[in-house]
Amino acid sequence: MQRKQQAVEGNRISNWMMFLLAAACGLIVANLYYAQTLVGPIHVALGLSSTTAGFIVTLTQIGYVVGLLFIVPISDIIENRRLMVVSLIITVFALLVAAFAPNATLFLTASLFIGVGSVVAQILVPYATYLASEEQRGRVVGNVMSGLLLGIMFARPLASFITSIWGWQAIFIMSAIVLTLLTILLSRALPERKPVPTVSYSKLILSLGTLFKQTPALRRRALYQACLFGAFSLFWTVVPLRLADDFGMSQQGIALFALVGVGGAIAAPIAGRLADKGWSKGLTGLAMVIAALSFLVIYIFQSHSTAALILLFISAITLDMAVSGNLVLGQRVIYSLGSEARGRLNGLFMSIFFIGGAIGSSLGGWSYALGGWNFSALIGVILPVLALLYYFTEKETGGDVRKKQNG
């Protein structure tokens, strides 16, 4: 078995396997976002108050962070394929419970487990780097992350369209069917990856704090992405309100607007390829500048004109490009820090920037209620600027860090 694993790690990953991993990441992570545009019909159907309706999305995100911190690290000590299959079975079961839940309590509990099980996407990404050779690692991360980002971006409009035809339960049932088929395919197509356990699970979890403290590249990259993902989450929390209030768009019109962001996913594979050429540090700064400018433009031009709407479309694309590109750059640096802790490093990285996203969403709702689009867009400018100020204190590139660790 050890000889087989070494052979796998020494080979270049095939295009078919890269496509499978990218598609799997997208299909799995989409489950975190289906409910975001369905809060209205779900809370009415289950009798939730407007105040508690926010838990529909929040509990799924909480479950995801829990999975990132307590399940993803297990991929460093047990066989990865089996862990993924078990987690996907839990997700399928939770999706079916959510679809047929007779009351709010059962639905919210299912939402929590949907989030926990969906962390399989964050086991697949480092698993892809295990299959890839060193010289193609950036490209592989970029392509797989493109699939994940497409899943995020298509989830909202897809859920809205399906709900308008068959009702909100349909998206959960359809996802359960798709994930069942995906589970069977992954169990047969993926090669085994069984790490040699060096610590117990309890010590593994306790080591998260040590890893965070002793890995400056992780802290830096996680905080960069937390600021950018916070701006991203703020934008997609507030822009539907602006489209409805200022441009009179219907729910289907807003769903069509959400499709615009899909174009930003093209930045992920491009960033991965350029990172392989040693351009990580410069591209990181560029991503922050683009994110800040995306908000600055729509902060300055706030009319209800067609031109202002076009600028919103453009900003949606450029903001998504900045966030997706920087995500790939950050993950490439982190995956270069050591394969024995790759699962834990990825879990920490993702949980930190997802917390940034949750903060961004909260700031979006609060700022729009307090000061409208003007205040929200201003905060959107500030978040990537904070990342940029921190970026200016960076003295080493990801490549420098890797050389130091290897040397």
Helices (H) and strands (E) counted in the chain, each on its own, are 17, 0
Digit-coded pLDDT (tens) for 2-41: 434 443 444 578 889 999 999 999 999 999 988 877 776 8
- pLDDT value, residue 51: 56
C-beta neighbour count of 396 within 10 angstroms: 14
Question: How far apart are alpha carbons 130 and 125 in whole angstroms?
Answer: 9
Question: How far apart are alpha carbons 292 and 304 in whole angstroms?
Answer: 22
Digit-coded pLDDT (tens) for 99-131: 999 999 999 999 999 999 999 998 998 888 888
Q: Where are the domains of the chain?
A: 1-197, 199-407
Helix (H) or strand (E) holding 264: none
Domain 199-407: homologous superfamily in CATH: MFS general substrate transporter like domains (1.20.1250.20)
Assign 400 a pLDDT band (cuts: 50, 70, 90): very low
What is the third-level CATH fold of 1-197? Growth Hormone; Chain: A; (1.20.1250)
Task: Tell me the mean pLDDT in the region 295-311.
Answer: 90
Helix (H) or strand (E) holding 366: helix 342-391
Question: How far apart are alpha carbons 102 and 87 in whole angstroms?
Answer: 24
Q: What is the mean pLDDT of the chain?
A: 85
Question: How far apart are alpha carbons 228 and 374 in whole angstroms?
Answer: 19
360-371 burial, b if ≥16 CB within 10 A, otherwise e? bbbbbeebbeee
Cβ partners under 8 Å of residue 293, min gap 6: 318
- pLDDT value, residue 244: 79
Q: Hey, what are 399's tokens?
A: 């490549």
Assign 190 a pLDDT band (cuts: 50, 70, 90): very high
1-197 and 199-407: same fold? yes
Question: How far apart are alpha carbons 261 and 83 in whole angstroms?
Answer: 32
Question: How far apart are alpha carbons 98 and 114 in whole angstroms?
Answer: 9
- pLDDT value, residue 402: 43
Question: Does the reported pTM lie above 0.85?
Answer: no
Question: How far apart are alpha carbons 194 and 148 in whole angstroms?
Answer: 24
Q: Which alpha helices (DSSP H) does 277-341 contain, by range?
A: 280-300, 306-335
